[in-house]
């Protein structure tokens, strides 16, 4: 695991582009003990990264990334470019045993969500096996809002084999896992716009993110194949992917997760 020390940042007056000295593409540099009070995490873009995927992974709102880094539509990123990511949750580069756990644990193994080290604090590591993983504020769950949520529909029909919340192994499942038939159509839970379709988000396989009115986002992960692309408008119930044997489904609002079963009708 990468050691988080004092971050050396050379600011370059080229819009959103800064150069993080010594950092490799695809990594986040968190402020160390010597950083100033206004220092924020800085991410080094790798090939095929998108604003939407980074927002989903690190819990930073899309609009925050766009405005902070003065990105211009269509918000394309280039390898080596750096992005300031205020409030980014800590996602370790690697966790020993993650691949083994993923093979034996139902649903995607979620090892993201560790809070970044505070200034002057020693770097944190993942919690020992069986111990709850500390979560950053951006990834903490929220209760169902007082205003009625969109009337979502189930993306697939099947038994819920992975529940929302902390698992017996101390990991955090940000959604639910639904057992289904291989090749079954995965349907959009509500009408909206596809903001991401790809496989660059770790542990999510073929992933689709759909943005809905009111700040809602639904995620459909570990699909066999995708039927839509970024920018597509989709209707409620429209097939957007073909399922593998198990679909991972998440519901988020303002980049905070909630139990999908609380906004879905009874099966």
The domain limits of the chain are 9-84, 141-262
Q: Is the pLDDT higher at 138 or at 241?
A: 241
pLDDT for 42 equals 93
At residue 51, what are phi and psi to the nearest 5 degrees?
-60, -40
At residue 142, what are phi and psi to the nearest 5 degrees?
-125, 155
- 207 contacts 220 by C-beta, under 8 angstroms: yes
Asked if CATH classification 2.60.40.290 holds for the domain at 141-262, the reply, yes or no, is: no
Residue 11: which pLDDT band, with cuts at 50, 70 and 90? very low
Q: Is the pTM of this model over 0.85?
A: no
Question: Going edge to edge, which strands form the sheet with 28-29?
Answer: 28-29, 42-44, 82-84
What's the CATH fold of domain 9-84? Membrane-bound Lytic Murein Transglycosylase D; Chain A (3.10.350)
Note the Cα 87 to chain centre separation in Å. Answer: 14
Q: Which residues are CB-neighbours of 205 under 8 A, at least 6 positions away?
A: 108, 199, 221, 222, 223, 244
Q: Which of 193, 57, 125, 251 lies closest to 259 in space, CA to CA?
A: 251
Neighbours of 253 (CB within 10 A): 18
């Amino acid at each position: 695991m990468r050691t988080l020390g004092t971050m050396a940042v050379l600011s370059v007056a080229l819009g959103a582009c800064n150069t993080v000295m010594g950092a490799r593409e695809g990594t986040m540099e968190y402020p160390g003990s010597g950083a100033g009070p206004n220092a924020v995490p800085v991410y080094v873009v790798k090939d095929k990264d998108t604003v939407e995927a980074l927002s989903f992974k690190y819990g930073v709102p899309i609009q925050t990334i766009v405005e902070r880094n003065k990105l211009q539509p269509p918000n394309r990123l280039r390898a080596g470019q750096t992005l300031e990511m205020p409030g980014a949750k800590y996602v370790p580069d690697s966790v020993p045993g993650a691949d083994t756990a993923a093979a034996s644990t139902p649903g995607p193994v979620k090892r993201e969500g560790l809070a970044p080290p505070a200034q002057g604090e020693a770097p944190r590591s993942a919690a020992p096996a069986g111990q709850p993983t500390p979560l950053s504020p951006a990834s903490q769950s929220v209760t169902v809002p007082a205003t009625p949520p969109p009337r979502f529909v189930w993306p697939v029909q099947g038994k819920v084999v992975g529940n929302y919340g902390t698992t017996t192994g101390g990991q955090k499942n940000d959604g639910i896992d639904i057992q289904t038939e291989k090749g079954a159509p995965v349907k959009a839970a509500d009408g909206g716009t596809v903001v991401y379709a790809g496989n660059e988000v770790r542990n999510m396989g073929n992933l689709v993110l759909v943005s809905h009115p009111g700040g809602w986002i639904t995620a459909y992960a570990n699909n066999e194949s995708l039927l839509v692309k970024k920018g597509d408008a989709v209707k409620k119930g429209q097939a957007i992917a073909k399922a593998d044997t198990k679909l991972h489904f998440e519901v988020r609002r303002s980049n905070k997760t909630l139990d999908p079963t609380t906004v879905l009708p009874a099966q």
